[in-house]
Amino acid sequence: MRRLLALRAGKELTAAHVRVAADALGVSERTVWRWLAAAGRDEAAADEPGARVQTSTRFTITPEVRGLLALWKGNVRAVHRQLVLHAARQSPPADAPSLTTLHRAIRRDLTPGERAGLAGGERAARKHDVFLARPRGWRNKVWETDHMQAPVLVDVEGRARRPWITWFTDCATNAVTGVAVTPGDPSRESVLAALRSAVLREDPYGPFGGVPEKVRVDRGKDFLSRTVTAAFDLLDVGVEDLPAYTPHLKGTVEGLNRAVESMFLAALPGYARQPRPGKRASRPKDEVLLGFEDFTARLLAWTLWWNTEHRPAPLRGRTPLEAWQDDPTPLRDVPAADLWTFTLEDAGARTLTTRGIRFRKRDYVGPWMTGQAGIQVRIRFMPHHDHRIEVYHAATGRYLGPADLADQATEEQVSAVRKARAARARRLKKDLEVSQRERYAAVSRPAAPQRLGALTAAQAEAELAQATGTDLSDLALRDLIPPAAPPPGWRTPASLAALTTPGLPAPVPSGRDSASVQCGPDGRTAQPAPDEDGDVL
């Protein structure tokens, strides 16, 4: 527009110039002539051709309106009702914007990310952000790891559970280097199992693996535990602890979490789509769930397909296996025996006795212990695997062998104990719910809440007495052992003197103890004189 204005000022502007500008801007020639006329009246109009002139009476989005949008989760109609009520309460009543004007102002003054954030929070706003892509680097430069709870119900010993998947993925090739599946909640043992399968390159784990240079985690307590951190340190692997609530900083493994659900888990029996808050996932009653072993086998088969046949878009037509093999970066391998040692938790040194090794108040024995009593050993164990420990020589670090739990309970005994514990937990939960449940009367008019369930005075006293009787401090016999007599030079109250002086009668209750105490001329307490029979008056 400034070029056209300069041509018009020099009397060189022609219709051809206007036609070329209209074609370049995608508007009609008439629109360009109108913009030129507006720029002739106001030079500021040349900066934004076609922009509407802002007037002082135009409605704009204020901080108060933004607060209402956040309060009502982006519900524009509810915000409009609030604005109408606020305008009617003013003196004199003010004019509220129409619903159409409010919609227009929101679209004009707020970005799509701001509108999504006010309606759905930070995660919704993040979908409208622009993110930079990291350079892919080379194989084993960076791994990413994460836990994922599979949205699939699996039969685990007769109970429907949602298993957890723990895996490591290579950022350069999108290959899944290691995976571990846990029937219940994952722990540091799940991380160590997945790490072993990721580092080993022999069958059935290869050819992906080796020791990476760095691993990205998202502040999970299992990944930052002392055992896992020690394993990473022994393997000389750097750990990058990402800030909380930043899944975009480990997009490779997050993309894998989304892909496995849409490409594999959604087709399995027992798939439980994430329900809305307060709703339970529904499924057919006659649906037969997969067993845990069958689910794990299918997941590992899908992982093999992902690594060898799937062609992710970032790899430009190659599979993760082809991208891995095309990379000439040398790999760092660790022997399986050393890797097993590195990924065990250290429990310190113990003395091997004739009863075996004492660990956590239990005895562990092994056939290799014959004739070894008296030596110092070092214990390493897999977390939560209480049935076996690994024993090493304390001085040389030489591996001696495994040790199993002595007098281990049978499967029948363990099953009976688990059933008894489950029954006790259910009974306790039911008792607590009954005792803590409070019912209120229903109202059809504004009123204070009224609790239901009347008690008589006798019932209340009996329950309070029962609760008081359980307090050990109330059951204490405070007068069982009388206090010792104070030194003769002390000013002793009459109540304490009666308890500590042999033969002295108990004092008569009075308002003050000092009223029954007499002091001698030297300031000491005067003791009562005995009568003719030797009795104390």
Structure confidence by residue, pLDDT tens digits, 237-262: 999 999 887 888 888 999 999 999 99
| Nearest residue to 327 via CA among 197, 207, 169, 203 | 207
89 & 187 share domain: no
Reported confidence tier of residue 232, pLDDT bands at 50, 70, 90: very high
229 contacts 219 by C-beta, under 8 angstroms: no
Reported confidence tier of residue 367, pLDDT bands at 50, 70, 90: confident
The better pLDDT of the pair 516, 137 is held by 137
Burial class (CB in 10 A: 0-12, 13-18, 19+), 66: middle
In the numeric block, which tokens belong to residue 512? 């003050």
**Residue with structure tokens 């109330």?**
474
Output the average pLDDT for the chain: 81
Q: What is the pLDDT of residue 244?
A: 80
- Residue 235 located in a structural domain: yes
| Nearest residue to 260 via CA among 216, 223, 303 | 303
Q: What is the pLDDT of residue 476?
A: 64
Domain boundary residue, one of 357, 385, 405: 405
Regarding beta strands 214-217 and 176-182, do their DSSP bridges make them parallel or antiparallel, or are they unpaired?
Answer: unpaired
The better pLDDT of the pair 506, 113 is held by 113
DSSP string, 111-132: -HHHHHHHHH-HHHHHTTS--P
**Boundaries of domain holding 201:** 142-275+286-326
Among 44-48, 72-76, 438-442, the range with the most confident prediction by mean pLDDT is: 72-76
Name, in order, each residue with C-beta under 8 angstroms of 77's C-beta and a sequence gap of 6 or more: 99
Return the C-alpha torsion angle 207, 213, 217, 220, nearest 10: 90
- Could you tell me how far CA 200 lies from the centroid of its own chain? 30
In the numeric block, which tokens belong to residue 161? 């559970």
Count CB neighbours of 293 within 10 A.
11
| Nearest residue to 256 via CA among 246, 268, 265, 244 | 265
Q: Residue 365: enclosing H or E segment and its boundaries?
A: strand 362-365
- Residue 507 located in a structural domain: no
- Residue 167 located in a structural domain: yes
Can you give the CATH number for the domain in which 313 is found?
3.30.420.10
- Residue 98 located in a structural domain: yes
Residue 323 reports pLDDT greater than 90: yes
Q: For residues 27-51, b (16+ Cβ closer than 10 Å) or e, as one string? A: eeeebbeebbebbeeeeebbeebee
- Residue 80 located in a structural domain: yes
Regarding beta strands 388-393 and 376-381, do their DSSP bridges make them parallel or antiparallel, or are they unpaired?
Answer: antiparallel
Q: What is the pLDDT of residue 340?
A: 82
Distance CA 364, CA 352 (A): 10
Structure confidence by residue, pLDDT tens digits, 456-475: 677 777 777 766 655 556 66
Domain boundary residue, one of 353, 372, 405: 405
Q: What is the pLDDT of residue 371?
A: 85
Q: What is the pLDDT of residue 202?
A: 80
